[in-house]
Amino acid sequence: METDVKKKRDLLERATKAAPDMLNKAENSGYPEAIIYAHLRFSNILSLLAGIETNREEKKKLLEQALQHMKESAARTEQLTPFLYWNRGTLQASLANTKSELVEVAEDNETKKNLLKEAALAIDSCVKLENIELTFLVSKPSSLTSLFVELGVRQSLYGKVLNRLYGLTRNQEYLEKAIEAFREATESFQKLNLRSRMAECHWKIAQAYDALDEHSNAAEYFGLASNDYRSAAEKIPQLKGFYQDHACYMEAWSEIEKARHHHKRQEYGLAMEHFQNAANIHKSLKQWSYMAPNYSAWAHVEHAEELSRKEHNEEAFEGFQQSLDFLEEAKRSIQAALGRIDDADEKQMATSIIKATELRHEYCKARMIIEEAKILDKKGEHHSSAKQYGSAVETLEKLTQKLESQPDMKECQFIACLSRAWQKMEEAEAEESPEHYSEAAQLFEKAKELGQSEKTKALVLGHSRFCKALEAGAKFADTGDMTEHAKAMQHLESATSFYLKADFQSASEYTKATRFLFDAYVHMGNAARETDPEKKTRLYTVAQKVLQASAESYAKAGNPSRREQALKLLKTAKEQGELTASLAEVLYAPIVASTTTFTAPAPTLEKAVGLERFEHAEITANLILNPKELRVGESMELEIELANPGKGQALLNQIQRAIPEGFELTVKPEPYRVEGCNINLKGKRLEPLKTEEVKLSLKPKRKGSFTVEPRILYLDENGNTKSHEPKPLTITVKELGIKGWLKGEA
């Protein structure tokens, strides 16, 4: 109950010195229950002392000693009372907690893994034992209330330990087991309608699905967490604002996960909508509003990617250029908020995003260069286009060296490889060199190994085959060698197959149109050499039908210029009986293979932070003023509502600055003690999900505008000093009214 940490340590050290004598007397008594209790109490004392110990080695020593006494207590309990399942389970939970705390002071990952595996086995054993006990108590529902709360907390702890194991091993089986553990915890809390605890479990499940890249499932569970927090807000009025803010935060994260789901599927337009929804929700949040510009920036990046995918290259260039400004705004917003972020995980995330903004800038600049290269290609400026693709490669390679995330590094390497391939295609166009198409095909083959989805891999293989077809087609156009024609047709057939597999219908139609064009040239060439008038006419007719089919396929591919070219060739063939345009003139066109085929890097640094705070005591406060405007000499009521949404017990120490400057206290708040402008709460214990109200009656001594900005000091269950500052309120005090003067109050 001691709120002074120095005094708390002194008491615990005295208890530690007295504990061995207690244990000796218990062992000398011969009573097993006394020995069990002595080991348990000794372990608890050592654990509490370890909780406030700052020296790493001393902390480790205390925890190891606590673990030995706890093991002894658990072993004797199992031997003496094997059917007291709940007691046995409780001891297993204590073993798991101590081993989890030892992980924090372990020096190497292997030791950490082993300790966490042992902790997981212990807490799993705890849950199983306590479930057995509950089966015997179903006939007494009134006795189950507190037990289901404890069971839910332990099931949640099991999930947390499994999560930590995943963090060390990257074994996805641990995450899948964690999801199941959190689901079971949700069911336990649901029996008591503890909606805030259910929300926390759904939040953790959503995080696990996010780590598994199952963003659609993550979105669903963030949505469930949002609904739970809204229900919790109605149950506990003192926490209404707090839980409503969290409900909106969970809703925003549901939108973010939907955006990630569509981003992964390269559905950038849908991803843009959900990122913008998330940005709009963040604007209304008290704690996380500073992140709104960040998600708005990502919405603009997604929009630019969508424009690029649709080959609207000028608009895409402008979109990426605008994204640079939005990213800079996001950076400024996060930097401005950094100083007031208390949560360690949130601060780390914010710092990482600020650091990553430069890299995201570089990515957008690289994309601008690629879009410019495509624009130049469409204008027929192939040398300039090739140069820009080369510049994009240099930018992306420099960016790759700065990235820390392996998936992001691989994606940038993939885009760089594609850009090299596109560069070779432009050089082939500019120099009329079939060899460059061969080099491009090889680069597309290399890019396939870096692709992160089956569709992407199929698409770049389609590009590779298309380039091989262009190489063979160019040779056929120069030599008339039918062997090269056969190769071109074979590669075009293969390209069509890969494009269909990648679900790129337009690219498939383009290759089909090109295949028809090859056939038309062969038929026209054969017709020109044919001496039999009837056969010659038949060959020209076949060629014209094939050209018509080519024009239709170009139209389906969304390429009107190529359609018009095919129709022009058809008209010439009908009128003159020959194709006046060169086959090479039509073939040298890297339009299809420059289609944007990559998945853009995703915002992976952003996390739904703030959940860890609920694992311990967490005090939040609301201020209620009545009235907010008054005159000198009039009284007002200040009510400070305290609540503990955390899982640990809090010891309330002091409310600093409770009495604003310029006011005097007229009624003392019992049972607390007034110390100047502060209120001593005398170590008031506040259990999880409980509330406390401190009411002050105040009177202003002078006119003016005054700010009420109290600071609550408290200790969590581990003896750590923590604080909370609610949103300040302003009081306006006016001159004494005429009635006050007449009464002589002046």
Q: Are 460 and 593 in contact (CB under 8 A)?
A: no
Q: How confident is the model over 540-555, as a mean pLDDT? A: 74
Q: How confident is the model at residue 597 (pLDDT cuts 50, 70, 90)?
A: low
Q: Show the domain range for 530.
A: 478-587
Q: How confident is the model at residue 394 (pLDDT cuts 50, 70, 90)?
A: very high
Q: How confident is the model over 666-687, as a mean pLDDT? A: 91
Same domain, 61 and 107: no
Q: Helices 313-338 and 344-378 meet at what angle, rounded to 10?
A: 160
Same domain, 715 and 624: yes
**Rounded CA separation 423/415 (Å):** 12
Q: Are 85 and 101 in contact (CB under 8 A)?
A: no
Q: The domain that contains 50 carries what CATH number? A: 1.20.58
Choice between 544 and 184, residue whose per-residue pLDDT is larger: 184
| HSE-up of residue 423 (Cα within 13 Å, Cβ side) | 17
pLDDT of residue 575: 60
Choice between 560 and 325, residue whose per-residue pLDDT is larger: 325
Same domain, 274 and 257: no
pLDDT of residue 560: 67
38 belongs to a structural domain: yes
pLDDT of residue 433: 77
74: amino acid identity, one letter: A
Residues 6+ apart with CB under 8 A from 370: 308, 388, 389, 392, 415, 419, 422
Same domain, 422 and 293: yes
Same domain, 66 and 150: no
The number of domains in the chain is 6
pLDDT of residue 252: 97
**Residue 212 burial by Cβ neighbours in a 10 Å radius (0-12, 13-18, 19+):** middle
pLDDT per position as a tens digit, 448-460: 888 777 888 888 8
Same domain, 566 and 434: no
Q: Is 596 strand, coil or helix?
A: coil
Q: How confident is the model at residue 143 (pLDDT cuts 50, 70, 90)?
A: low
**Rounded CA separation 554/393 (Å):** 31
**Whether the predicted pLDDT of 488 surpasses 90:** no
707 belongs to a structural domain: yes
pLDDT of residue 447: 87
Same domain, 97 and 243: no
pLDDT per position as a tens digit, 241-261: 999 999 999 999 999 999 999
pLDDT of residue 568: 67
pLDDT per position as a tens digit, 14-42: 999 999 999 999 999 999 999 999 999 99
Q: How confident is the model over 408-423, as a mean pLDDT? A: 89
pLDDT of residue 745: 47
**Whether the predicted pLDDT of 142 surpasses 60:** no
Q: How confident is the model at residue 430 (pLDDT cuts 50, 70, 90)?
A: confident
**Whether the predicted pLDDT of 592 surpasses 60:** no
**Rounded CA separation 266/255 (Å):** 16
**Whether the predicted pLDDT of 576 surpasses 60:** no
Q: How confident is the model at residue 134 (pLDDT cuts 50, 70, 90)?
A: confident
731 belongs to a structural domain: yes
Q: Are 414 and 452 in contact (CB under 8 A)?
A: yes
61 belongs to a structural domain: yes
**Rounded CA separation 518/477 (Å):** 10
pLDDT of residue 746: 41
465 belongs to a structural domain: no
Q: How confident is the model over 519-534, as a mean pLDDT? A: 71
3-state helix vs strand vs coil in the chain, percent to 5: 70, 10, 20
pLDDT per position as a tens digit, 116-132: 999 999 999 999 999 99
Last residue of a domain, one of 124, 154, 186: 186
462 belongs to a structural domain: no
**Rounded CA separation 318/308 (Å):** 11
Q: How confident is the model at residue 589 (pLDDT cuts 50, 70, 90)?
A: very low
| CA nearest to 556, candidates 473, 485, 496, 639 | 496
Last residue of a domain, one of 230, 245, 265: 265
Q: Are 301 and 324 in contact (CB under 8 A)?
A: no
Q: How confident is the model at residue 520 (pLDDT cuts 50, 70, 90)?
A: confident
Q: How confident is the model at residue 578 (pLDDT cuts 50, 70, 90)?
A: low
Same domain, 351 and 237: no
Q: How confident is the model over 351-368, as a mean pLDDT? A: 92
Q: Which two tokens stand for residue 579?
A: 């194709």
Percent of the chain with pLDDT over 90: 58
CA 731 to chain centre: 41
- Strands 629-631 and 729-734, by their bridges, are parallel
Which helix (H) or strand (E) element contains residue 639?
strand 636-643
**Rounded CA separation 126/36 (Å):** 18
pLDDT per position as a tens digit, 603-634: 778 899 988 888 899 999 999 999 989 999 89
Lowest-pLDDT range, 40-44, 130-134, 406-410, 691-695?
406-410
Phi and psi at residue 238, in whole multiples of 5°? -65, -20
CB atoms within 10 A of CB 57: 9
Choice between 302 and 556, residue whose per-residue pLDDT is larger: 302
Same domain, 298 and 405: yes
**Whether the predicted pLDDT of 585 surpasses 60:** no
384 belongs to a structural domain: yes
Interior/surface letters 460-496, b for 16+ CB within 10 angstroms, e for the rest:
bbbbbbbbbbbbbbbbbbeeeeeebbebbbebbebbb
131 belongs to a structural domain: yes
Q: How confident is the model at residue 557 (pLDDT cuts 50, 70, 90)?
A: low
Same domain, 639 and 703: yes
Percent of the chain with pLDDT over 70: 90
Q: How confident is the model at residue 573 (pLDDT cuts 50, 70, 90)?
A: low
Name beta bridge partners: 730. 707
Phi and psi at residue 283, in whole multiples of 5°? -60, -30
Q: The domain that contains 656 carries what CATH number? A: 2.60.40.740
Choice between 424 and 586, residue whose per-residue pLDDT is larger: 424
Q: Are 229 and 199 in contact (CB under 8 A)?
A: yes
Last residue of a domain, one of 168, 186, 204: 186
Same domain, 96 and 245: no
- Strands 704-708 and 729-734, by their bridges, are antiparallel
Same domain, 436 and 318: yes
pLDDT of residue 470: 83
423: amino acid identity, one letter: Q
pLDDT of residue 572: 63
Q: Is 638 strand, coil or helix?
A: strand
- Average pLDDT, rounded, for the chain: 88
